[in-house]
Amino acid sequence: MPIENAPFSRSEYDRRLRQTRETMADLGIDVLFVTNPSNQYWLTGYDGWSFYVHQGVILPLEGDPYWWGRFMDANGARRTVWMEDDHILPYPDRYVQSADSHPMEDLASHLRIMGYGNKRIGVEMETYFFSARAFTTLAECLPAAEMMDASSLVNWQRLVKSEEELGFMRRAARISELVIDRAVELAEPGMKKHVLVGELYKTAVTGEADSWGDYPAIVPLLPSGRDASAPHLTWNGEALKKGEATFIEQSGCYRRYHAPLCRTIFFGKPPQYMADAAAALTEGLNAGIEVARPGNRACDIARALDAELARVGIERPNRCGYAVGLSYPPDWGEHTVSLRAYDETVLEPGMTFHFMPGLWMEDWGMETTETILIREDGPAETLSNVPRKLFVKD
């Protein structure tokens, strides 16, 4: 695909390659093999629902990267990557989900031809998309090579967002606003939850003007009542009920970039303990956003939140956020910085986080969250604009 049709400029891709290669060189890696689809997209633009089979990006220290994958997905690569066709390397379909052979045999052949058969090869050991069999097969086929763990090498290069990336995240944030606004408008006791989710999906995909909605990395999470004590339940065919809280955790997505946003709706009059918790949660978010400034640390955000929650006797044992942006299923986190009391990562302008201090108690739960951007100075910017409160509907 010509670079002029790619989602980002050539200078943006050059920046990404340069940063990644500098880290590769520092670690003594001769060639990097990337399987995480988010990292593949970030480096090359490859974008297809093909991550259920083995595929990846080969990144040498010099020259353009190579996309390697299934033969039937090669045309998808030609339609989405910015490199020329000779940097697309398809493998035959006989390797796909075969008990007798493995795609890594083909990859090993390419790496040998490129001269890396006895070099240091970086691979993403801790990723959903690189199996134990894949690693052992690659290592067996390249016995003279040294396999090096490069699990989050590219992830860390993605931590500070460029202006081009932030443009996509702002579009995603606007879609998140539309979804939450629609949820608050439509939700009422007696409405079936799957019907509500259908409307939210429609809103998320429709988007607004030229900001169309992509599929998010996580499906809508919509538990109610006692189920809301668990953070990762989805929806069912039951009706929303008076006297229960339901939280909506979702994210707009534009060209694979996310800006998660969560709010909670209570039908009827909330009990005092829940009203108090909601107020403390809002104050904790405000305090965390206030200290989310360049030069401060990730742990400062978590500690500011914890101090406000402690005023109403709530202690959270979980992290309260994580780096976010570009992602594919099953997770929209970037697997780098966590907002927790012992993560001392120094905050820099351009970092983006899902600040998500959900409360999951013994028999109830609520979520009020924001996607925040560390600015050049001053407190963080919230990318969405929805009232930070517990929504109450009769």
CA distance 44 to 114: 19
- Expressed in percent and rounded to 5, the helix, strand and coil fractions of the chain are 35, 20, 40
* Chosen domain end from 107, 130, 157: 157
Pair 83, 172 in one domain: no
DSSP string of 43-89, one letter each residue: HH----S-TTS--EEEEESSS--EEEEEGGGHHHHHHH-SS-GGGEE
Tens of pLDDT, residue by residue over 32-75, are: 999 999 999 999 999 999 999 999 999 999 999 999 999 999 99
Q: Which residues pair with 385 in a beta bridge?
A: none
pLDDT higher than 80, residue 4: no
Where helices occur in the chain by DSSP H, the ranges are: 10-27, 37-44, 74-80, 103-113, 132-141, 153-157, 163-186, 193-206, 272-291, 298-310
Confidence band for 394, pLDDT divided at 50, 70 and 90: confident
Residue 118's domain is classified under what CATH number?
3.40.350.10
pLDDT higher than 80, residue 180: yes
Residue 307's domain is classified under what CATH number?
3.90.230.10
Pair 179, 134 in one domain: no
* Chosen domain end from 157, 188, 219: 157
Pair 120, 219 in one domain: no
CA distance 7 to 257: 12
Taking the chain, what is the end-to-end CA distance rounded to the nearest angstrom? 53
Taking residue 235's Cβ as centre, other Cβ atoms within 10 Å add up to: 22
Q: Please, are residues 335 and 253 in contact by the beta-carbon 8 Å criterion? A: no
Indicate the SS3 state at residue 189: coil
Pair 259, 135 in one domain: no
pLDDT higher than 90, residue 221: yes
Query: Mean pLDDT over all residues of the chain?
Result: 97
Residue 330 is predicted with a pLDDT of 97
CA-to-CA separations, 269 to 130, 159, 238, 273, 362, in angstroms, rounded: 49, 42, 21, 12, 20
Pair 170, 150 in one domain: no
pLDDT higher than 80, residue 316: yes
pLDDT higher than 90, residue 3: no
In terms of residues, how long is the chain?
394
Pair 84, 207 in one domain: no
Pair 177, 110 in one domain: no
pLDDT higher than 90, residue 97: yes
Pair 18, 53 in one domain: yes
Q: Which residue has the tokens 């980002």?
A: 8
Pair 226, 367 in one domain: yes
Pair 196, 294 in one domain: yes
Residue 6 is predicted with a pLDDT of 86
Give the global pTM: 0.96
Q: Please, are residues 316 and 152 in contact by the beta-carbon 8 Å criterion? A: no
- Count of domains forming the chain: 2
Q: Which residue has the tokens 């697997």?
A: 335
Confidence band for 5, pLDDT divided at 50, 70 and 90: confident
Indicate the SS3 state at residue 226: helix
Q: Which domain holds residue 53?
A: 3-157
* Chosen domain end from 140, 157, 174: 157
Pair 196, 107 in one domain: no
Q: Please, are residues 129 and 104 in contact by the beta-carbon 8 Å criterion? A: no
Pair 172, 153 in one domain: no
Residue 1 is predicted with a pLDDT of 66
